[in-house]
Amino acid sequence: AINIFLRQVALEEGIPFEVKLPKYEKAYKELEKAVAYNAFGGGVPSEYANRILKLYAKDLIDLETAVFALGREK
């Protein structure tokens, strides 16, 4: 098993699998808290805000864009 792993490391020129944290969960929860406390005065984010939060959490938009979009909600 170790030889197979080491061969894959050589073939892939690195670890042969993706190593990452569950960014979606962490980013969504953190931004949701920030939005709830700062932008909505402790309230629950709207459906629009939730869509923006999900785009940010999935790394489809950056934080600056998310904050800008949330500020445009009427």
The residues near 53 (Cβ < 8 Å, ≥ 6 apart) are 28, 31, 32, 35, 45, 66
Q: What is the pLDDT of residues 12-51, one digit of tens each?
A: 888 888 776 666 667 777 776 776 666 556 666 778 888 8
Query: What does pTM read for this prediction?
Result: 0.44
